[in-house]
Amino acid sequence: MRILFTVGMLLWASLSYAQLSLTPSRIFASGINVRAEVTPAASINDTARLGYSRFNVQGIIPIRGGAGVKFHNFNLRKIDVEINQMFLAINAGYRMPNFSFDKNDQGIYTVSAAITGIHASLRDKIWVYAVGLGVSETEDLFSFSKARPYGVGGAVRVRIAGLRTQWFYGGAVVFEPGRITPIPIGGITPELQKIPA
């Protein structure tokens, strides 16, 4: 149960970090982001209490980027505009679950580094891809010899259908010692209600 919880938290954290990395203010500039989230323990059915705290420091380092125009066979009808950006995201964090029904709650330390790339063009639409490595460690086993390494890799294609509708699909793979977990990714963000002008 603890292994499943740890894997789930790492996956959730990875997705959170990806969202944090892709905010417009962070894509084209380096910087450091400090984040803290504390969910106070709350009662569930008056029998159990559940809480969660998370602290994270993230550094963004641009590796390369650029934009260009391509002419296919010098045909103006086949012009293509491309924008590329690649950056390194380094994360260090601490997570502390608080479950009243589990007296062995332990904090989880994590350190990870991931390379994320964004490729956008008129022909290929938008691709977002990432590959990363990390290590997680609980408090009672705070030793690098017993740390749990993991790796994550994946790609997502985003298609824009109008101003308010986008859909995306792709996949990711999580590597752990003795385990490989594929994760399908897909979704759509349709316009549900027209906004009056």
What confidence tens digit (pLDDT) does each residue in 31-77 have? Answer: 888 888 888 777 776 667 777 888 999 898 888 877 777 766 666 66
- Pairing verdict, β 79-99 and 179-189: unpaired
**88 in a domain, yes or no?**
yes
pLDDT, one tens digit per residue, over 104-113 is 666 788 899 9
Beta-bridge partners for 32: 59
**197 in a domain, yes or no?**
no
Is 173 a residue whose pLDDT tops 50?
A: yes
**152 in a domain, yes or no?**
yes
**86 in a domain, yes or no?**
yes
Compute the radius of gyration of the chain from its Cα atoms. Answer: 20
**25 in a domain, yes or no?**
yes
- Cα–Cα distances in Å, from 2 out to 55, 179, 195? 20, 15, 46
**23 in a domain, yes or no?**
yes
**194 in a domain, yes or no?**
no
**155 in a domain, yes or no?**
yes
126, 161 contact by CB (below 8 A): no
Number of structural domains (the chain) is: 1
Output 194 or 114, whichever has higher pLDDT.
Answer: 114
108, 138 contact by CB (below 8 A): yes
pTM above 0.85, yes or no: no
Range of the domain at 170: 2-189
